[in-house]
Structure 1
């Protein structure tokens, strides 16, 4: 009786363990588990633990692909893109956003398409590719309208207005802003953003007083000034409005107030630029030069941060690739171990069978020899399988070395881009400084008492000596060729009709400088700069729909 009870208890325990054993792999293959991985990956991203985030999201992506869970696959790809965006690696971010977009178009509802379209547009906007940014914002806006999603309509209309501001299309910008305001009126986080965008529109249109009054009202009536950096945006509008109104004392005061709040480096740079303009207007040239130097120092800090981010990105990519390789190797090991297990079980069964048959004396000696031969054949098969497994591991190691080589190529590419950024920043700085010195010389030369003071005349000569000549361009070309070896010679070969001035203009375009920045460096208007660009495109015999920057990047 006791033996029967013990057997029953053992049978129950066995069934319980079997259920747990079967439940563990089944849970690991559910949408709930996949959603949990995605959420943990998102949490790790906001905690800036990017390696952990990418590991979790990559695992979720593999699981979703295997089971054809399109919603989870979309979320995994979209958040991998968001993680790379946080790491400032916009190229990788765009790659995963485009994968998400294809999934949304083919398999999911329009709301998923809207989200990823907006993300893609933001990336293009960050890269100052406003034509593409507008295209994707407009697609998101149209989808939102089709689905009558009011909040998204307001948000995407406001984004379209921001792009219109960047391209100086103020009428179109105002139309979108006025459309967004009713949709966002009940959204405490987004409504002030729409109002600030409207104030920026007034400022760009020349209505400085109206813009300032709106901004001041917003500053006193917005509950959370830290949300989306809204307080900084409002303060910048107020400072620039005072500057355009000619109230330099208040502009200076507001600028110092904003600096006292210890804003981020991008905001500091904007404030330094505004203070430079204030001191030029008030003829405090020494302070203007100091803030010009502060702008240069801030640019260098920003470049250092970006360089650090690029290095961090490469390390993360390497670790993720290593993580993927390790998963593949472990999978190969598990497969090999399972095969070994099956072979051993087969081998044991064969041995037991031989022993049983031997004990019973059923088979003859030739049968026994046959069984031994079969056993040896299986052992040989095991050895061959082991060799195959070792070869697979060796191939994985070779793949890992190739990955390291690719990362080294990526590092060299990033280093060239970093040097180009420093070179363009230096050129912009020298151009701005020369312009400031010219303004100082012009201002001093207009003084009627100039001829009476020989020392003042000597100071003007000293300032003139600081102005850079074409020798600076020769130095710039030398450094440019060191960074972009062979680019100028290749360009001359392809387009021999280009002169020195054309090559100089094209070099600035190749460094991805904006029309406004190039115009400032060449001391011409933005309109003249655009006309020169059109003339050079015509001279190079490029088609109208060809982007000159994309063409130059391919040389």
Structure 2
């Protein structure tokens, strides 16, 4: 059975890879035919998006080319996009200095163009680089600045991701409780808006990392596998590689070495295929450590020395101390203390500036063993004292972290409580005039939504009419047909408004209860929040819309399921809005996501429907 699963997985991976290759070939051929700079840039952007997480090194080539062309024609908006994309690719392949350089360019351009979201995204990338470089305080400052921008612009998906990134800083600092709390908060928010599964997978993977750090290794593996499933479905090779590595690491801690080496090998294969050099170096270290643990010293030496060569050649600082530490341990096991000292001395020298107390504690203990084998008692005792000093420092540091963690949780809860019990809001609840104003606002908001949607539908209808000016008769027929269609669609929207008004009445009743019984504030406040969440998450509106849409468009959703049985509700919604000829920007507004996310979803939908490169997705959906 296991073999069958592997064969099927390999088949689908090969199929996806083949389709990607075809798309890349098509785009590259298209690039050759383009003469205008802007046309070239758009094709280069598509190539970048296609390859970012499948082959980041190749994607970088296209973003850099787009940047040069944009610069040559002084198109700052395109320069901004290309600079940001280049920074992301450099970070993925762990060229952090280059990533910082391009993100700073992006931030400068974003400020000049008043592009707040791009500014915050580049800021978040810089913060993550600071986190990787162990500059945790600076990372938190930058992430929190980005968070406020996302919050101000109501970018829920990006806000949730930013909260997850803040949680990562606390995780790397050993503050697991606050980290888990923030991850769960981010995950809950993403669930409420039906977000891109990739964002959810990132959060789940981080929760797995927390479980690993608190030694719940089996739970960690479960979380990692959940995330791996999504990354595999989305063909995200970077994070597939990371998940196999993490799963293997947890299996090592469970002393299940066969499963560990199986996952490490899968991760190494992906790292080599897609030039993920930092991952490749790290995997050589982990495999070498595993073989040392299982007393296979010659195999261990091969992998650890290969890892050391990688780190020196590529200039990696991340994980470098781990390699030196493992080599020191290996040569102690091989009874070669002088060789062990060579690596341990260098590891201690590298660890002191980074203030890694955990590394220093272990390294001094290992070096004392090497000195003991050389019968150098004085140095052995001296290093044991250093080991104990750092052990005590870690104990005190952990205590301080726990206190800081509790304080952070307290401050966070306090801010949330103050927000919920805002003095001005409490006064408003006790004033009838304010309640009336709220009621009117809710009605107006519902009517505004209806009017906006009606205007949008009318605009689409008007655009369609313009295409048939040459034939008056056809125009009239189309006009009549579209009116009938829109009447049915507007009936759906009318039902939607009725539901909104029902909800409004229920909310008013709860507010009245609050006014008459101030002491019941806490209970009723929670009930109102639940109502609001229920209203946001309720799918009744979609079910009604889908019903009317099916009447107008001849069971559209059933036709899609006949082509691809496992198509999701979210994909059917996307297809329906594309069938109505809504623009990417309009659909993004409906889904409350960025236009880039919709473009990515369209690409995935086309891939699921097995449409050829010459087939336009919208044309195909209109033909159903």
Length-normalised TM-score, structure 2: 0.43
Length-normalised TM-score, structure 1: 0.48
Tell me which structure has the larger Cα radius of gyration: 1
